[in-house]
Structure 1
């Protein structure tokens, strides 16, 4: 928990550098979680997060991306989430999809 807090503070102060380094960051790591959360706050986050979701085979990374999409209440994101919910997927993905879809409705 302490390390997550430190990384979140680091991300707040070095957002641009961290996002520039996104291709080199292991997204399964705590730093990867911080980077994805920062990316989710960007104005063009929806298409970028969806592209990362489609490009990654790791279930852990996909779950993090689904959770990050809750910060992106856009119609295109909601459509993507509805499509993903209709596909056969892991049970914990469904929960993350529903949480993110609920955030799109507010």
Structure 2
């Protein structure tokens, strides 16, 4: 009888552990932020962002001297399209930096 109880407990424990692993199998943890940054006109820059991670994302626009011209934090778990009017900025190269806790993307856009 004691052996039967131990066998049932062992089977229950293994089944529970196996089901817990199967439950997590469909949930992929991703920290990568997908970003597409493009300039449609010389005065507008678009930033398309998909943040699948459970973290906030920092967006920064940096000039050639390394000075941050714009900085903002967007909420977690979202897909957005941001539009930046850069008509007031002088010609030159600008860096667009998008990052979360684990991942950073930097793209350079030239304003003519």
TM-score w.r.t. the length of structure 1 is: 0.18
Larger relative helix fraction = 1
Larger relative strand fraction = 2
Structure of larger gyration radius: 2
**Larger RCO: Structure 1 or Structure 2 (Cα < 8 Å, ≥ 6 residues apart)?**
2
